[in-house]
A and B are shown apart, each in its own frame.
Chain A
Amino acid sequence: MNIYVLLKKTFDTEEKITVSGGRIEDDSAEFIINPYDEYAVEEAIVQRDEHGGEVTVVTVGDEESEKQLRTALAMGADKAVLINTEEDIENGDQYTTAKILEAFFEDKEVDLILAGNVAIDEASGQVGPRLAALLDIPYVSTITSLKIDDDTASIEKDVEGDVEIIETSLPLLVTCQQGLNEPRYPSLPGIMKAKKKPLEEIEIDDLDLDEDDVEAKTKTVEVYLPPEKEAGKILEGEPADQVKELVSLLKNEKKVL
């Protein structure tokens, strides 16, 4: 099977966010593989081990994304591709990313593409479904189980807590939700092996695209932090008195009862 994983680097979850010059300050930030993309990498490896074939991890990003691609290789992916847009694209959006990926996949034989259901930074969740539409293959988002038998895929999809049992066919794109699997940590031998695995770097030029072909359709005009929350009020006294005061505050001050 030809399995591809769409991967993005994101801020470490615990990272404190600061804004300067109208953008998120990222000079000293720690980056990780987007947590949902980790489920995708893990699932790709599991499926390959069961059905044979090859896992290729693809990212649209910058030089720095190499680190996350190497981590995916250390987990067990076979190949990685960095589509480096640093030189060419200043302000892309999900339209941009999907268009670039479409061009990348144009000459590929694909059985399965896995992505995270959302990236925890910009949280658009668009790239997977957009790409599937461009490639005209079926897609299922927020999956929590995947079983493949020849060209048929049986899927469990999380729908706001309910579970849908879905049957569809390959080639297929899925986006991964928590619960699908437990991503493995890269092992030491895995890390050593990863250094020798192929990591190809290409630019949009190599995909016969130029900046205008993929120009964003949306633009961020401002980034800001929410107003600092005033310290809350810790109620005092006997539990019964605290509860009385709480209910009165909720009713009379906040008017939510």
Chain B
Amino acid sequence: MSDKILVIGELRDDEVRNVSYEAIAAAKKIDHNAEIVGLLIGSGDIESQGQSLIAYGADRVIVVSHDNLKTYTSEGYGQAVMEVVNNESPTGIVMGHTSIGKDLTPKIASKLNTGLVSDVVDIEDDGVFVRPIYSGKAFEKKVITDGITFITIRPNNIPALEKDGSRSGEVSSVDVNITDLRTVIKDVIRKASEGVDLSEANVIVAGGRGVKSADGFKPLYELAEVLGGAVGASRGACDADYCDYALQIGQTGKVVTPDLYIAVGISGAIQHLAGMSNSKVIVAINKDPESNIFNVADYGIVGDLFEVIPLLIEEIKKVKVTV
């Protein structure tokens, strides 16, 4: 029997999330010769999104659309995935380590009596999976000793393949009876930063208590905008009500791995570092040269953020214009 890896894709505002494309690349890293089957779950006409999974490397896509799948519930999505898994008998499953991925995959693993390696940041040959432990202070390599290969991947760590619009593949729809949902979503309140999603952002400008007020965050939004990035925050800033907890980065907030992380007026407490220290390039702007954040930063500017940020915005605008 040849190998087949199921990639559970995710839609956000009816568009495929980037991490789902990364999951396809991860599936190929697990096994180059496997058939990659994408899966999209939702309601309404989502079949049209299937083609984009193919452009990013899936060989075939299955779509499950049902009124009861409009918003994610573990029960509804669980039924849909199990139906597809039972039909397809994949040898592997890959999904993003997102809010939905974290919630859904342990349930599926439990139903299938399998292991699950979650929050994978790298895949080595021979099925060795790398993941951070102890809030990123250490790493472990894991293998699967029994059952199918089942992993979730951290967004922004395994690059997606180049998009190839000329690829073709079948997008088929599967009818699933979604019944007896004991859990009902009554409402969704959108609080997360508008526009760019923090966990998938390539650039993050994060503000701390040093920003001093909600108004003080405005220049940070401006900087994020010229960089095409998102705004995040320390818990210090959230606790002080300068911004919503939705922006919190750290051990109890979001874990992010952008290409560029600019920490503004953040002291660099261990709980904050837990969420961002694996960013590729870290810049710290802080007026206290003794701040712990400088120990993890690649580049540091010791200075007053209210002076530095406007200068930085101007300078970046200049280089952006010249490219």
Name A's B-contacting residues (CB within 8 A): 11, 13-14, 17, 19, 24, 35-36, 93-95, 98, 120-134, 138-142, 159-169, 177-179, 215-226, 229, 231-235, 239-240, 242-244, 246-247, 249-251, 254, 256-257
Contact = CB atoms under 8 A, between A and B. Distances in A.
A11 B133 CA distance: 11
Query: What does DSSP make chain B's interface, helix, strand, loop or mixed?
Result: mixed
A221 B142 contact: yes
A232 B75 contact: no
A162 B246 contact: yes
Query: What does DSSP make chain A's interface, helix, strand, loop or mixed?
Result: mixed
A218 B227 CA distance: 41
Interface in B117-141: 117-119, 128, 131-141
Given A219-B145, A225-B137, A256-B259, A161 B106 contact: no
B252 interface: yes
A161 B193 contact: yes
B192 A232 contact: no
A129 B260 contact: no
Contacts of B260: 250, 254, 256-257
B185 interface: yes
Contacts, number: 250
A246 B192 contact: no
B109 interface: yes
Contacts of A13: 135, 251, 270-271
Interface of B: 71, 74-75, 78, 98-99, 102-103, 105-107, 109-111, 113-119, 128, 131-147, 182-193, 197-199, 203, 227, 244-247, 251-254, 259-260, 270-271, 274, 278, 280-284, 289, 294-303, 307-308, 311-312, 315-316, 318-320
B183 A140 contact: yes
B316 A133 contact: no
Contacts of B295: 229, 231-232
A166 B111 contact: no
A162 B270 contact: no
B74 A251 contact: no
Contacts of A132: 107
A226 to B, nearest CB: 6
Given A125-B102, A160-B98, A218-B145, A134 B110 contact: yes
A131 B253 CA distance: 24
B315 A247 contact: yes
Given A125-B106, A165-B185, A17 B312 contact: no
Nearest to A231: B295
Nearest to A138: B182
B288 to A, nearest CB: 12
Contact of B138 (A17, A36, A221): A17
29 contacts: A93-B115, A120-B134, A126-B105, A130-B107, A133-B107, A141-B103, A142-B99, A161-B198, A164-B187, A164-B188, A166-B186, A169-B182, A215-B146, A217-B147, A218-B144, A224-B140, A225-B137, A225-B138, A226-B137, A226-B278, A232-B299, A233-B298, A234-B302, A235-B299, A239-B308, A242-B303, A246-B299, A256-B203, A256-B280
